[in-house]
């Protein structure tokens, strides 16, 4: 096996290669004067199993194209390609909410499988996006890693901002060994939500709010405010994918003591590495 770390997942790709004890592939990337991307694989890969690790996070289009070019070049050289996309950008448009909308989660899948033979991601926003692939497609769950990273740090209750994140929060709570509950969320528009913790008993609790994605931060900020107003002792926040658009991180840190994320997107908050999770899945696949 040989692992190629794309531009968006440089460190994570390297960690996966180290964990697997295999070679880190070499590829040359440059831009033509007009801005077009050029990719050249420089390692010998014929007959090998090549793993490309590349999140399609911001800049989404550039990262996606790099992944496609790299995978295609590897296939041309005779490698069998596994696309590891720790954060699957374009995944949130997982169906046509209105007639005529492109289902980007499916469009990306269709293009990836032109050159990849297998696909692996981490906590996709909706599990059913895996069914858009006709090649074997799997997802790994970062919840236990998040829970373990908070062990011994005094968290007494894990809260999901909405029912959609309940399963993730339950996984975190299980690994942490504490209670779990979820808020009721209503989305008013992009970045605008109202959250209700009326049902929950949060008084005096040291709460860990967990979500799959933090994008604008609207969901987490509203949830943290609501939980504080209802008497929580402290609030920490964790997510799998720190999209963190604009000043989202600052807004979250204004209402929470701490913000921790995994490295599916490499940010300064990405203190939990999913490398072992990915490596383990690849080893057993
Ligand atoms: C929604 O269903 C997701 O789980 C996240 O709660 C959402 O994507 C977060 O977005 P934002 O940070 O913009 O509220």
| Nearest protein CA to atom 8 of ligand 1, as residue | 213
B/e letters for 245-264, b = 16+ CB within 10 Å, e = fewer, are: eeebbebbbebbebbbbbbb
Q: Which atom of ligand 1 is nearest to the CA of 125?
A: 4
- Per DSSP bridges, beta strands 184-189 and 192-196 are antiparallel
Would you place residue 192 in the very low, low, confident or very high pLDDT band (cuts 50, 70, 90)?
confident
Which among 167, 214, 237 is the best mutation to test ligand 1's pocket, defined by most ligand atoms within 8 Å of the CB?
214
Ligand 1 proximity of 93 Cβ (cutoff 6 Å): no
Its pTM stands at: 0.96
Q: CA-to-CA distance for 45 and 190, rounded, in angstroms?
A: 44
191: pLDDT strictly greater than 70 = no
Active-site residue list: 185
Nearest alpha-carbon partner for 219 in 195, 247, 200: 195
Report CA(37)–ligand 1 centroid distance (Å).
Answer: 31
What are the residues whose beta carbons fall under 8 Å from the beta carbon of 99, sequence distance 6 or more? none
The answer to whether the CB of 273 falls within 8 A of the CB of 12 is yes
Ligand 1 proximity of 242 Cβ (cutoff 6 Å): no
183: pLDDT strictly greater than 90 = yes
Q: Rounded to an integer, what is the distance from CA 167 to the centroid of its chain?
A: 15
Q: Using one digit for the tens of pLDDT, what is the confidence trace for 27-71? A: 999 999 999 999 999 999 999 999 999 999 999 999 999 999 999
**Structure confidence at residue 26 (pLDDT):** 98
Does residue 54 come out as left (phi exceeding 0), alpha (psi in the -120 to 50 range) or beta?
A: beta
Report CA(187)–ligand 1 centroid distance (Å).
Answer: 9
Lowest-pLDDT choice from 102-116, 176-190, 203-217: 176-190
Ligand 1 proximity of 181 Cβ (cutoff 6 Å): no
Mean pLDDT, rounded, for 176-194: 87
Report CA(265)–ligand 1 centroid distance (Å).
Answer: 15
Q: Which atom of ligand 1 is nearest to the CA of 243?
A: 12
The answer to whether the CB of 237 falls within 8 A of the CB of 209 is yes
Report CA(192)–ligand 1 centroid distance (Å).
Answer: 10
Q: Is 184 helix (H, G, I), strand (E, B) or coil?
A: strand
Q: CA-to-CA distance for 218 and 107, rounded, in angstroms?
A: 28
The answer to whether the CB of 54 falls within 8 A of the CB of 11 is no
Q: CA-to-CA distance for 157 and 263, rounded, in angstroms?
A: 24
The number of residues making up the chain comes to 285
Average pLDDT, the chain: 97
pLDDT > 70: percent of the chain: 100
User: Where are the alpha helices (H) located in 77-191, listed in sequence order?
Assistant: 104-112, 143-149, 166-176
**Structure confidence at residue 197 (pLDDT):** 83
Would you place residue 188 in the very low, low, confident or very high pLDDT band (cuts 50, 70, 90)?
confident
| Nearest protein CA to atom 5 of ligand 1, as residue | 213
Q: Using one digit for the tens of pLDDT, what is the confidence trace for 229-241? A: 999 999 999 999 9
């Amino acid at each position: 096996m040989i692992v190629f770390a794309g531009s968006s997942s440089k460190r994570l790709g390297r960690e996966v290669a180290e964990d697997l004890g295999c070679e880190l592939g070499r590829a040359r990337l440059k831009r033509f004067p007009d801005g077009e991307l050029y990719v050249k694989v420089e390692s010998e890969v014929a007959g090998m199993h090549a793993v490309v690790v590349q999140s399609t996070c911001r800049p989404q289009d550039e990262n996606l194209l790099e992944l496609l070019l790299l995978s295609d070049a590897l296939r041309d050289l005779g490698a069998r390609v596994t696309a590891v996309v720790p954060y699957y950008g374009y995944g949130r448009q997982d169906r046509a909410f209105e007639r005529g909308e492109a289902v980007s989660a499916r469009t990306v899948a269709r293009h990836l499988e032109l050159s990849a033979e297998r696909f692996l991601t981490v906590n996709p926003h909706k599990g059913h996006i895996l069914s858009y692939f006709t090649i074997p497609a799997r997802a790994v769950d970062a919840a236990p890693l998040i829970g373990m990273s908070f062990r011994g740090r005094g968290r007494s209750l894990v809260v999901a901002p909405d029912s959609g994140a309940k399963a993730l929060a339950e996984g975190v709570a299980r690994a942490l060994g504490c209670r779990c509950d979820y808020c009721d969320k209503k989305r008013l528009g992009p970045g605008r939500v109202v959250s209700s913790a009326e049902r929950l008993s949060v008084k005096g609790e040291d709460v860990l709010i967990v979500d799959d994605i933090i994008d604008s931060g609207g969901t987490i900020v509203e949830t943290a405010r609501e939980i504080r107003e209802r008497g929580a002792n402290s609030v920490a926040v964790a997510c799998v994918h720190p999209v963190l658009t604009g000043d989202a991180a600052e807004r979250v840190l204004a209402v929470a003591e701490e913000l921790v994320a995994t490295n599916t997107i490499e940010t300064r908050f990405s203190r939990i590495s999913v490398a072992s999770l990915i490596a383990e899945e690849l080893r057993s696949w």
